[in-house]
Amino acid sequence: MPVLPFLPRVESTRNAALQERLQHRIDTKTKPLGALGQLEALALQLGLIQRSESIAFTSPQMVVFAADHGIAAEGVSAFPQAVTVQMVGNMLAGGAAINVFARQHGFALHVVDAGVAAEFEDHPQLIRHKIAHGTQNSCEGPAMSLAQVEQALQAGMAVMRGLPGNVVAFGEMGIANTSAAALLLARLAGLPLDDVVGRGTGLDDTQLAHKQSVLARALAKHAGVKDTLPVLAALGGFEIAMMSGAMLQAASERRVVLVDGFIAGAAALLACKLAPDLRDYLVFCHRSAETGHRLLLAHLQATPLLDLDMRLGEGTGALLAWPLLQSAALFLAEMASFESAGVSGKSQS
């Protein structure tokens, strides 16, 4: 049952009969057992999500959630907070890395204003769901109220209900959001803070030490907060909360969910706390160079498709992994079996 009555119901993809049929198809292709490695596991996962022995993708969507963070006032980023609104403008103008990759791979791109500390002119790719002009500083009090968390979750759900297709990739933009993600990971996964705090936008050693000190203060400020939604309210960000709601809605509609890097991973961690069966729908696309991401993936028992030493965010890692999903679908559909190709199988001895 959902933790909150407004959350969508996410069904497990478990289906023993379909899994057996899919695995048989994979195993009898003209190759040694397991020779396509992770691609075989990916094909199985996609087939179970779509409840089919043939995988088809329609109207792929790229959704970038953008918001500002009050903790940025503590100097935890190498860039000023103004970069959030500037980069959103760059995305709407078509000039960011995620625009390049979305055009390359045929993804429709939308940017969601979840809580940027500025106003935007109307734009066909802009979706307005601003909760506030940035969160509060979590070193001084809760970043969000519980009412704002609920509002953000529902807004993320509404975003997904308004978009077509059966596959969606999620990205983010927000100065200081690696701080929020690190705080959430440390508290929800019970990991040492210093192990999950990284350089974010490119901090040097002195700046990194300052960031660790600031985040330790924030974590101590909310030491007694343990439950998922209060933790999100105390430490998180509007874009992380909204992305979590969007992931839950996408899975309830049996969409394939492409998870990008550290920030999207933190949203996935939160959403899995609210609906554990969501994990079945998540394709973890790459391992970020951000320190905490490796530990986050391990906590979720996720093996990412790529490891390119990237730390850009925006959803870029998700779209770079997209051709692997296409390949998984195509080998399942088009690769011959030993029987159809007249090829001898492995010798029995």
CATH code for position 25: 1.10.1610.10
Same domain? For 52 and 65 the reply is: no
Which residues fall within 8 angstroms of residue 223, CB to CB, at 6 or more apart? Answer: none
Q: How far apart are CA 334 and CA 258, in angstroms?
A: 24
Q: What is the mean pLDDT of residues 320-346?
A: 90
Instruction: Identify the CATH number of the domain in which residue 172 sits.
Output: 3.40.50.10210
Same domain? For 40 and 161 the reply is: no
Same domain? For 39 and 121 the reply is: no
Side chain identity at 100, as an amino acid letter? V
Element (H, E) at 150: helix 146-161
Residue 8 maps to a domain: no
314 given a catalytic annotation: yes
Strands annotated E in the chain: 61-67, 108-115, 126-128, 167-173, 256-259, 282-284
Same domain? For 39 and 129 the reply is: no
Residue 183 has a CB neighbour count (10 Å cut-off) of: 28
Q: How far apart are CA 306 and CA 12, in angstroms?
A: 25
pLDDT, tens digit, for every residue of 297-320?
999 999 999 999 999 999 999 999
Same domain? For 189 and 42 the reply is: no
Q: Which of 119, 314, 334, 339 is catalytic?
A: 314
Q: Are 94 and 107 in contact (CB under 8 A)?
A: no
Q: Could you tell me the pLDDT band of residue 201, with boundaries at 50, 70 and 90?
A: confident
Residue 298 maps to a domain: yes
* DSSP type of residue 70: G
Q: What is the mean pLDDT of residues 97-108?
A: 98
What are the DSSP calls for 260-300, one per residue?
-SHHHHHHHHHHHHH-GGGGGGEEE-B--SSHHHHHHHHHT
Check residue 285 and give its pLDDT: 98
Full domain range(s) for residue 337: 16-56+330-341
pLDDT, tens digit, for every residue of 150-185?
999 999 999 999 999 999 999 999 999 999 999 999
Same domain? For 31 and 69 the reply is: no
Residue 348 maps to a domain: no
Determine the Cα angle at 195 with ends 191 and 196, to 5°.
80
In this structure, which long-range contacts are made by residues 210-213, counting pairs with CB atoms below 8 Å and at least 24 apart in sequence? Answer: 210/75, 210/76, 211/76, 211/179
Q: What's the pTM value of the predicted model, to 2 decimals? A: 0.96
Same domain? For 52 and 70 the reply is: no
Check residue 4 and give its pLDDT: 81
Residue 346 maps to a domain: no
Percent of the chain at pLDDT exceeding 90: 94
pLDDT, tens digit, for every residue of 211-256?
999 999 999 999 999 999 999 999 999 999 999 999 999 999 999 9
Residue in 136, 61, 125, 57 with CA at minimum distance from that of residue 89? 125
Same domain? For 252 and 337 the reply is: no
Residue 4 maps to a domain: no
Q: Could you tell me the pLDDT band of residue 202, with boundaries at 50, 70 and 90?
A: confident
Query: By three-state DSSP, how is residue 155 classified?
Result: helix
Same domain? For 28 and 121 the reply is: no
Residue 239 maps to a domain: yes
Q: How far apart are CA 50 and CA 11, in angstroms?
A: 12
Q: How far apart are CA 84 and CA 65, in angstroms?
A: 11
Same domain? For 159 and 173 the reply is: yes
Residue 349 maps to a domain: no
Same domain? For 236 and 334 the reply is: no
Same domain? For 240 and 155 the reply is: yes
Provide the number of structural domains found in the chain: 2
Residue 247 maps to a domain: yes
